[in-house]
């Protein structure tokens, strides 16, 4: 018996026909397989068509077999605790892991892995003082992705990315204020993105000779931690960062360059000049480091 419930039926443990049909259709299309392929050895192709149309629901045993063939958890099809857009095969999960740890490609087959990869690309490359290209295209793809609407963290990440790119295009008091205002309500966005956004606000204001405003951004937002670069530029502007802000242990390439700069500034001549010259050569694409070195008396 292929069908167990008519349209509209929803007893305990049995999915609603329309919802089940939408999840089944999305999962099948997401894996680019035909109804005939999915039905083979399990049921008729016409049954798949009826279920996807929301006309009825298969028996639980059939749902288990469909989920197994699609390579997803049965709860994904029944809708118990899973969104169908988040369904992944084991291969897709591997791509997510690779994306999270910096490997893989934005051309990955997994939609979630591609989303993560695009987000990380914007996070790592968007910078007012270093070259970057086509990040607006990546932002547009994230904004239009069906995955983005599934959680506030994704929506708010895209909001922050848009404000970050605005600042990168035109570093100014206005774009800093726009980003800082967005940070006030995007509290569900990942802390790493928020920390990077705060860093860009602070660095932009310090280079504009507005260190008091830069410190004010950190005081206003009260982040649990700031980057080493954020902390260092405030200290070297003659201002103590707010006591609530500790230095986050993660070190970006810029953070490491700042550490080298800090060490060089403690040296006597001619060792200082030699160290600064080497740092300039190593950071030739980082306008922020060049600007900080240019301020050395």
Q: What is the pLDDT of residues 187-219, one digit of tens each?
A: 999 999 999 999 999 999 999 999 999 999 999
Average pLDDT over residues 146-170: 91
Closest CA to 215 of 245, 239, 238: 239
Least confident of 84-88, 223-227, 244-248: 84-88
Domain spans of the chain, in order of start: 3-86, 89-121, 126-250, 251-297
**Structure confidence at residue 183 as a pLDDT band (50, 70, 90):** very high
With b for 16 or more beta-carbon neighbours within 10 A and e for fewer, the 87-102 pattern comes to bbbeebeebbebbeee
* pLDDT at site 96: 65
Dist. CA 16–CA 19, nearest whole Å:
5
* pLDDT at site 86: 59
Contact 224, 183 (CB under 8 A): no
What CATH number belongs to 3-86?
1.10.260.40
Closest CA to 112 of 93, 132, 131, 138: 93
* Burial status of residue 127 (CB atoms within 10 A of its CB: 0-12, 13-18, 19 or more): buried
* pLDDT at site 72: 78
2: helix, strand or coil: coil
Under DSSP, the state recorded for 104 is S
pLDDT tens by residue, 47-86: 999 998 889 999 989 999 998 898 877 876 776 655 656 5
Number of H helices, E strands in the chain: 16, 4
| pLDDT over threshold 70, residue 7 | no
109: helix, strand or coil: coil
Dist. CA 36–CA 6, nearest whole Å:
23
* pLDDT at site 82: 53
CA-based R_g, the chain, Å? 26
pLDDT tens by residue, 16-41: 788 788 778 878 887 788 999 999 99
**Structure confidence at residue 10 as a pLDDT band (50, 70, 90):** very low
| pLDDT over threshold 70, residue 15 | no
Q: Which run of H or E residues covers position 60? A: helix 60-70
As given in the structure block, the two tokens for residue 198 are: 């705060």
**Structure confidence at residue 6 as a pLDDT band (50, 70, 90):** very low
Per the prediction, the chain carries an average pLDDT of 85
The distance from CA 114 to its chain's CA centroid, rounded to whole angstroms, is 10
Dist. CA 297–CA 285, nearest whole Å:
22
Beta strands in 106-218 (DSSP E): none
Dist. CA 165–CA 46, nearest whole Å:
49
Contact 264, 284 (CB under 8 A): no
* pLDDT at site 244: 73
247: helix, strand or coil: strand
Least confident of 9-18, 63-72, 221-230: 9-18
* pLDDT at site 11: 36
The crossing angle, in degrees rounded to 10, of helices 228-235 and 211-221 is 140
Closest CA to 231 of 190, 125, 223: 223
Dist. CA 184–CA 178, nearest whole Å:
10
């Amino acid at each position: 018996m292929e069908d167990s419930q008519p349209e509209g039926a929803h007893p305990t443990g049995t999915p609603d026909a329309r919802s089940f049909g939408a999840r089944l259709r999305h999962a099948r299309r997401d894996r680019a397989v035909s109804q005939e392929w999915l039905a083979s050895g399990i049921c008729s192709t016409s049954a798949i068509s009826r279920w996807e149309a929301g006309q009825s629901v298969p028996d639980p045993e059939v749902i288990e077999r469909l989920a197994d063939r699609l390579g997803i958890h049965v709860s994904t099809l029944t809708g118990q605790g899973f969104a169908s857009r988040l369904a992944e095969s084991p291969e897709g999960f591997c791509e997510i892991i690779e994306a999270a740890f910096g490997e893989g490609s934005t051309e990955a087959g997994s939609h979630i892995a591609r989303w993560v990869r695009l987000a990380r690309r914007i996070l790592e490359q968007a910078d007012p003082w270093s070259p970057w290209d086509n990040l607006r295209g990546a932002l547009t793809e994230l904004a239009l992705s069906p995955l983005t609407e599934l959680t506030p963290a994704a929506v708010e990440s895209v909001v922050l990315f848009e404000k970050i790119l605005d600042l990168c295009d035109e570093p100014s008091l206005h774009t800093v204020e726009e980003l800082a205002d967005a940070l006030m309500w995007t509290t569900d966005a990942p802390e790493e993105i928020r920390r990077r956004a705060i860093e860009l606000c602070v660095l932009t204001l310090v280079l504009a000779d507005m260190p008091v405003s830069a410190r004010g951004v950190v005081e206003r937002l009260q982040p649990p931690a700031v980057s080493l670069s954020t902390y260092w530029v405030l200290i070297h502007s003659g201002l103590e960062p707010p006591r609530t802000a500790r230095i986050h242990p993660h070190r970006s390439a810029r953070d490491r360059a700042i550490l080298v700069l800090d060490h060089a500034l403690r040296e006597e001549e001619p060792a200082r000049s030699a160290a600064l010259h080497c740092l300039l050569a190593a950071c030739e694409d980082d306008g922020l480091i060049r600007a900080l070195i240019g301020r050395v008396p």
